[in-house]
């Protein structure tokens, strides 16, 4: 499973990339707003830090504005992927962009029917928002399982990005289901790494090493 980092913070990206396990980045307007820097400047810096896809979201609500924004964002770097909201005009925009060979990440997906239409429109990626579904007492991971089944039934090429990840179990379950990608906040990447038995085990080995006669 590929791991993307879900942030617009360059320090977090730098630290995660240094681990050698990051395949791409997803951003959204809320994440970029936290950085208090111009959007184009942040995206340019991020694109230079990773070789893989960097998702940047449009804010237009009609297909023509989305396509125009997509073309402007695409100039920033070759690895920019255009994030399009899963609304009616978004689906039209995805079709138009796929005809122009511009890659899309269809975001804010909360149902399998939405995911089916995104794939039919030619989406490169679909982003089911797992955590936000869990927040309203619907099992987000069920959506991932159903999308995977339907995409498999028809050999759709659209890759599934498990998004709105809140904890390590979301990542583990995404991998168990065979999702293509999980996009993970920096704090959860750190949680994935750590285990108290590893830490106490390292400490015990260090303590015992000191007892070995020199
Ligand atoms: C994904 O592409 C989104 O940026 C992100 O996962 C949304 O997560 P949230 O529901 O925690 O805001």
Which residues of the chain, if any, have pLDDT below 70? none
Residues 119 and 158 sit within 8 Å (Cβ to Cβ):
yes
| 28 Cβ closer than 6 Å to some ligand 1 atom | yes
- Find all residues with CB under 8 Å of 21, minimum gap 6, and list them: 3, 189
pLDDT per residue as tens digits for the range 16-69: 999 999 999 999 999 999 999 999 999 999 999 999 999 999 999 999 999 999
- Domain assignment present for residue 10? The answer is yes
- Domain assignment present for residue 214? The answer is no
- Domain assignment present for residue 139? The answer is yes
Q: What is the structure's pLDDT at 72?
A: 97
- Domain assignment present for residue 73? The answer is yes
Mean of per-residue pLDDT scores for the chain: 97
Atom of ligand 1 at shortest range from CA of 105? 2
Q: What is the CA(183)–ligand 1 centre distance, in A? A: 8
- Domain assignment present for residue 148? The answer is yes
Residues 135 and 117 sit within 8 Å (Cβ to Cβ):
no
Looking up tokens 């179990």 gives: 169
Q: Count of alpha carbons within 13 Å of 155, Cβ hemisphere only?
A: 0
Task: Please give the Cα distance from 95 to 90 (Å, whole number).
Answer: 9
Give the count of domains, the chain: 1
Residue 163's CATH number: 3.20.20.70
- Find all residues with CB under 8 Å of 188, minimum gap 6, and list them: 165, 166, 167, 168, 170, 171
Looking up tokens 């995404």 gives: 174
83 flagged as catalytic: yes
Q: Which domain holds residue 94?
A: 2-209
Rounded alpha-carbon distances, angstroms, from residue 110 to 4, 86, 164, 199: 20, 9, 11, 38
- Domain assignment present for residue 30? The answer is yes
Looking up tokens 């399009």 gives: 84
Q: What is the CA(6)–ligand 1 centre distance, in A? A: 7
Phi-psi region of 95 (alpha: psi -120 to 50; beta: other; left: phi over 0): alpha
| 183 Cβ closer than 6 Å to some ligand 1 atom | yes
Q: What is the CA(203)–ligand 1 centre distance, in A? A: 36
């Amino acid at each position: 499973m590929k791991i993307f980092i879900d942030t617009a913070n360059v320090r977090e990206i730098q630290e995660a990339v240094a681990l050698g396990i990051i395949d791409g980045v997803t951003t959204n307007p809320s994440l970029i707003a936290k950085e208090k820097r111009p959007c184009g400047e942040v995206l340019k810096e991020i694109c230079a830090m990773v070789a893989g896809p960097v998702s940047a979201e449009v804010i237009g609500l009609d297909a023509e504005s989305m396509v125009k924004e997509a073309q402007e964002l695409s100039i920033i770097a070759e690895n920019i992927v255009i994030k399009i909201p899963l609304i009616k005009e978004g689906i039209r925009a995805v079709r138009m962009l796929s005809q122009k060979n511009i890659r899309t990440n269809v975001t804010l997906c909360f149902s399998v029917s939405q995911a089916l239409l995104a794939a039919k429109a030619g989406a490169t990626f679909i982003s089911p928002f797992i955590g936000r579904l869990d927040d309203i007492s619907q099992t987000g991971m069920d959506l991932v399982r159903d999308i995977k089944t339907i995409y498999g039934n028809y050999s759709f090429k659209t890759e599934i990005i498990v998004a709105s990840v809140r904890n390590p179990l979301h990542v583990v379950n995404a991998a168990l289901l065979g999702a293509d990608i999980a996009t993970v906040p920096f704090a959860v990447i750190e949680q994935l790494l750590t285990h108290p038995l590893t830490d106490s085990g390292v400490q015990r080995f260090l303590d015992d090493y000191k007892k070995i006669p020199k």
